[in-house]
Structure 1
C-alpha cells in the first residue's frame, strides 16, 4: 500500500502550498488567509518510482473547545490517526511559537514518525533558522520553501525511506460523483451518511465547506470517489475572496466528475441559483441525479410545493432520476446509489458502430427526416464519438438541413434503444470526410464557381502550350 503522509501545523504556515507542491497540482486552495483549509484533503504524489498519499489538514488549534476551529482540530487528529508518517510544518519567519510547542507535545504521543519542516526559509541561513526548533524534541528539523520547492525533494525522500518499496497497483475505473448545491442544503451531511462516518465537517453555518474534498470509498464490492463541494451562492452574495475560489473549485469538480448529484432543500424553494448550477452541469455534459434533501423536515404542504418547483425550475433535467431523501436519517440512500450507478454506466457506455447504425436505420424507417425544399437529408451511418457524455456522430448528405425537431427525435430514440437513463446525449451531424466531395457539393449549389474554375484550367493549359512551343523553336 502507498504510505500516507499527513501535513500538520498551525494555521497559515504553508500546508496547502506544500500539498500542491507534493501532488504537483493546484487542488488545495492557497491564500494569505489563516483557516482557509477546513477538511482533510487527499492527493496522490510520486518521487521517482515511489508513490504516496498526502493529506492536507486545516490549521491545528488543539486548545479550542468549540466552534469551527474545534471541528478542524478534530479533522486534523483523525488525519494523524490515519497517517503512516507526519510532516509537522512550522514557520521559519515567525519562529517557534507556544502553539507549535503544544502541537509537538500532541505529536510526541503518537506512534508515527514525525518530520519537522521549517517552511518559508527562502533567502535565510538554514542552520540559523532551524536551530530553535530542536527544542520541539522531534529530531533534526529540515529547512524548506514550499512556494519555491527548495528542500522539498530531500524532505519527502527522507520520509519515504522509512517505508519499503512496493509496486503500485493499477486502479480500475469507477464512478466519481460530485455533490453540488447551495450552501447549507446538507451536502456534507449526505457525504457523511454515505461514508458512515463524520468524514467532513457538517456545521449549521452556510459556507462551512470551502474546498472540494475527494474521498475514495467502497460500498459493497464497488469502488467510488465522492467529491464534497462548497456551496455556491448567487454572485451578488459572494463577498469573501476565499468563497470566490470555492466557486471555482466547485465548477472544476463538476468538470472532473462522471456523475453530478444536485442536492436541493425540501424546506426551501428551488432558487434560480439551483437552476444555474444544474444548467452548468448540463452544459458540461455530466450525468446527473437530483436529491431533494431534508424530506423528513418538510410538512405535506412543503412537499407538494417542492415537487411543483422541481418540475418548473429544473424540469430540463428530464433525463435525470429524482429522489426525495433524508441524509440526516439515512433514508433513500440505496435508491440514490442505484441511480448513480445507472447514470455512470450510461455516461461511460461504449456502443459498437453496427448497433448504432442499425438503431439509426430503424429510426429512419419509423420516421424519415422531412423534406427541405426538394431535398431530403440522407443519414447513412452512425458511430460513437466520445463518452461522458455519450456522443453519436451521424454521417450523410444535406445534414445541415435536418430540423431541430428531428434532431431531438433521434436523441430520444438512441436514449430509449440503449437505455441511457441519467446522462445527456449529444448527436452530431457530419458531412462527408472527403474534402473533394464537399467541394463538389458547394460547386453544385453555386454553378458560377464551376464555370470560373473551367476557364482558369483552360487558360493554364493554353499558357503551357505556348511555353512548350517557344522551347521547341
Structure 2
C-alpha cells in the first residue's frame, strides 16, 4: 500500500505554511505575511500513534504571482488535491469568511475525499464563536486551531488519522498501468500500434480519465495492462507561449496515474531539455521508470547499446537504477521483453521486507562503515522500518538527522538498494529523530525528519 497523503489548501495568507511547520514539528516552509510565498509543494513525513502519512503544503489558491508563476502554482495545487487522501482546508478566523474562501470551497465541491476545515489563528477560546460563519462553506468537519499558539494539535491529528483510508482500502491492484512519455516523433504511437499487432494480445482503446490522453487496455499472457498514451512534446523556445506547456501538464497527470513510466528516446536524437524535464518529473513522483531507446536497429552501428547506456547514465545520474530497453516499435522487436520488465518493476514497487531483515542490513552497513562524527558525537540509528510501498518507503529512527552527511545517506540508500528487492525502482528513505533515552519507545510527535531518494 502506498503512503497516505494529506494536503493543506486554502486562499493566500491564512497560515497554511504555519500549519505545515506546526504539524511537522519544525520550520520547513517559509512563513511570511506576503501573499504567494509558498509556490512549490512542500512535503514531510508525519507520525501519530504509529500512523504515518505524508503532509503536503501548497501555495495560495487564487493568488496572482508577481513573477508570472500563477499557472505553475495552480498546477502544483492540482497535483496535491488529486493525490491527497485527506484535505485540510484552512481559513483565517481573524479575517472571517472572505469571498476567496467561498471560491476555494467551490473548487473542492467535487472532491469525494474527507475534508477537515481548519479555522486557524484561533489563539484564544473566546475567538472560537467566530468560526460559526465558516459552516456556510459546507466543506468538512470544522475545528478551531492556532499554529502559533500550538492549540488543539492532538485533536487535529486524531481527526486526520481517523480519516485516513484503512489499509484494506489501499490494497494493491494487479492491473498495471504504464505511461508512454517522450518528445514528438520518438515512436510512441508506433509502439502503441504494435501492441494491437502483437501475438496473444487483446486490445481496446478508450478515452482516458486524463484529458487528451488515451487509455489502451490489452491483455498479454493472461496479464491485464493499460497503456496511457500521451501527446508528444516538442522543443520550444518559451514554454509559456506554447501550447506544449499544457501538453507537459497532461504528460505529468499521466505519469501520476501510472504505476510505471516508459520514457521514450529516439536513437537518432540527442537528449533534450524536454527529456530532462520529463525524467525529472518522473523522479519527483517516485515512479518506476524504464528508459526506452526506440528505432535502435536503424542506428545501432552509429551508436552501439554500450555507448547509449553510458550516455543515458551520464545524462541522468540520479536515475542509475532505471533499466534501459532497446526496441524497434515498427517491427515489435523486444516489445514483449519490455512489457515483462515493466511488470517486474510494478511488482518491485509493491514489495515489503520484514523489519528484522531490514535492521540486519542496516546494522551490517553501519558495522562496515560508521557514519562520520558530527559535532563531537557519532550519529546513531536505533532501528529501521518499512512504512509503505509504491514507492517502498523506509524510516530510519536516529538521534539526529542532521548528523548524517549526504554522502553517508547515499551510502545507506545504495546498501538498501543492493540488498532489498527494490533494485530498479525509486526508494524513499527518511531519517527521523527519536529520543535516545528509550530505544523501544514509539517516535515522538514533534520530530525532525529528512527524506533521501
- Structure 1 length normalisation: TM-score? 0.51
- Residue 294 (structure 1) aligned with residue 295 (structure 2): yes
Q: Structure 1 437/427 Cα, relative in aligned 2: closer, same or farther at 3 Å?
A: closer
What are the equivalent positions in structure 2 for 1:7-406 lying under 5 Å apart?
172-196=173-197, 211-236=212-237, 243-298=244-299, 300-303=301-304, 306-406=308-408
1:63-100 per-position Cα deviation (integer Å, ceiling 9, x unaligned): xxxxxxxxxxxxxxxxxxxxxxxxxxxxxxxxxxxxxx
RMSD: 3.0
1:275-299 alpha-carbon deviations (Å, 9 max, x no partner): 2211110111111101100112225
| Alpha-carbon distance in structure 1 between the residues aligned to 2:375 and 2:229 | 53
- Residues of 2 paired with 1:199 and 1:266: CA distance? 29
The separation in 2 between residues aligned to 1:365 and 1:274, in whole angstroms, is: 40
CA separation in 2, counterparts of 1:288 and 1:416? Answer: 18
CA distance in 2, matches of 1:239, 1:330: 37
Q: Distance in 2 between matches of 1:189 and 1:325?
A: 11
Matches of 2:359 and 2:276, distance apart in 1: 35
**Change in CA separation of 1:210 and 1:193 when aligned onto 2, cut-off 3 Å:** farther
User: For the structure 1 residues 300 and 227, does the alpha-carbon distance in structure 2 shift closer, same or farther, using more than 3 Å as the test?
Assistant: same
Query: Match of 1:316, SS?
Result: helix
Contact kept in structure 2, 1:210 and 1:230, CA below 8 Å: no
What is the rounded CA distance, in whole Å, between the counterparts of 1:397 and 1:221 in structure 2?
Answer: 49
Change (3 A) 1:234 1:210: farther
Q: Could you tell me how far apart the structure 2 residues matched to 1:311 and 1:434 are? A: 38
Q: CA deviation at 1:270?
A: 1.6
Cα distance change of structure 1 residues 173 and 240 upon mapping to structure 2, 3 Å threshold: farther
Contact 1:210 1:246 (C-alpha < 8 Å) held by counterparts: no
Q: Distance in 1 between matches of 2:445 and 2:315?
A: 48
Count of residue correspondences: 263
| Structure 2 stretches lacking a partner, 5+ long | 1-170, 435-441, 449-453
Q: Distance in 2 between matches of 1:188 and 1:315?
A: 28
The answer on whether the counterparts of 1:188 and 1:200 sit within 8 Å (CA) in structure 2 is: no
Give the distance between the partners of 1:323 and 1:173, measured in 2 at CA. Answer: 23
User: Residues 376 and 398 of structure 1 are in contact (CA less than 8 Å); yes or no, is this contact kept in structure 2?
Assistant: no
**Alignment correspondent of 2:424:** 422
Q: Do 2:184 and 2:234's aligned partners in 1 also have CA atoms closer than 8 Å?
A: yes
Using the alignment, how far apart are the partners of 1:379 and 1:229 within structure 2?
44
Q: Distance in 1 between matches of 2:281 and 2:246?
A: 17
Matches of 2:180 and 2:443 in 1, distance apart? 45
The Cα shift of 1:422 comes to 2.2
Structure number with higher relative contact order (C-alpha < 8 Å, ≥ 6 residues apart): 2
Listed one character per residue, the Cα deviations across residues 196-217 of structure 1 (whole Å, up to 9, x for unaligned) are 279779xxxxxxx992212222
Whether the 8 Å CA contact 1:351–1:384 is kept in 2: the answer is: yes
Q: Is the 8 A contact 1:390 1:424 kept in 2?
A: yes
Which whole-Å CA distance do the structure 1 matches of 2:348 and 2:252 have between them? 22
- Name whichever structure is richer in helix by fraction: 1
Distance 1:438 1:331 in 2: 51
Contact 1:342 1:421 in 2 (8 A): no
- Tell me the distance in 2 between the aligned counterparts of 1:434 and 1:326: 52
- Secondary structure of the residue aligned to 1:189 is helix
CA contact (8 A) 1:176 1:227 kept: yes
Gaps of 5+ in 1: 1-169, 202-208, 440-473
- Kindly indicate whether the alpha-carbon contact (under 8 Å) linking 2:265 and 2:293 is maintained by their aligned counterparts in 1: yes
User: What is the rounded CA distance, in whole Å, between the counterparts of 1:346 and 1:379 in structure 2?
Assistant: 26
Q: Tell me the CA shift for residue 396 of structure 1.
A: 2.1
Determine which structure has more spread, i.e. the larger CA radius of gyration.
1
Query: How far 1:240 sits from its partner (Å)?
Result: 8.1
The whole-number CA distance in structure 1 between the counterparts of 2:447 and 2:244 is 51
Q: Secondary structure at the match of 1:301?
A: coil
Distance of aligned partners of 1:383 and 1:190 in 2 relative to their CA distance in 1, 3 Å threshold: same
Q: Match of 2:319, SS?
A: coil
Alpha-carbon spacing, 1:434–1:350, altered in 2? closer, same or farther (3 Å): closer
Q: Distance in 1 between matches of 2:312 and 2:447?
A: 46
State the alpha-carbon separation in 2 of the partners of residues 314 and 434 from structure 1.
36
Alpha-carbon spacing, 1:437–1:328, altered in 2? closer, same or farther (3 Å): closer
Residue 438 of structure 1: how far off its partner (Å): 7.2
Residue equivalent to 1:18 = none
- Distance of 1:438 and 1:430 partners within structure 2: 7
Verify the 8 A CA contact 2:432 2:447 in the aligned structure 1. Answer: no
- For residue 392 of structure 1, report the CA deviation from its aligned partner: 0.6
